[in-house]
Amino acid sequence: MAFILIRDTEVAASFIKFKIEINNEDVGKIAQGEEKEFTLPEEESVLQIKQFGSRSNKLVVNDGDYIEISNAPWFFWEFVSLFILGIIVSSFEGPAVWTGYALVIVGYFVFNYFVESIKLTKRNKE
């Protein structure tokens, strides 16, 4: 029993490998553009991807499934917001600049902790 996992070439943070969890157990990592086969410990297992506090939706996978990793639909707007906040913070003066940048970075990680920024989708094998 196994399934195939493919990492889309347009997923953010392409230079970093994603951590693969099946039934809350680390089973490996996957790099940008890579396609890997993973063995299922049970007939129906739960798959989740994680990276730097970001995570994917949980997806029930079965033998023979073809799973694609991509960005969540709103992910682009998250980066646009970070860019705009960076411009606003750069207009501050003195220590407020560094405090502002620190708050933007911490805010980004806190936000990603509570939302699913990576999307797992079952696809037909092409």
60 close to 3: Cβ distance less than 8 angstroms: no
CA–CA separation, 98 vs 80, rounded Å?
Answer: 20
**What backbone torsions phi and psi does residue 99 show, to the nearest 5 degrees?**
-65, -40
Q: Tell me the per-residue pLDDT of 98-110, one tens digit each, with 9 for 90 and over.
A: 999 999 889 888 8
Residue with the two structure tokens 């990592």? 29
Mean pLDDT of the chain: 86
pLDDT, mean of residues 21-39: 91
Q: How does residue 37 score in pLDDT terms, banded at 50, 70 and 90?
A: very high
pLDDT of residue 12: 61
Q: How does residue 125 score in pLDDT terms, banded at 50, 70 and 90?
A: low
Computed from CA positions of residues 84, 17, 112, 119, in that sequence, does the dihedral angle turn out positive or negative? positive
Q: Tell me the per-residue pLDDT of 46-93, one tens digit each, with 9 for 90 and over.
A: 999 998 778 899 999 998 899 998 888 877 788 788 889 989 998 999
Between strands 45-51 and 54-56, the pairing is: antiparallel
Tokens of 98: 């560094």
Contacts of 44 (CB under 8 A, 6+ apart): 60, 61, 62
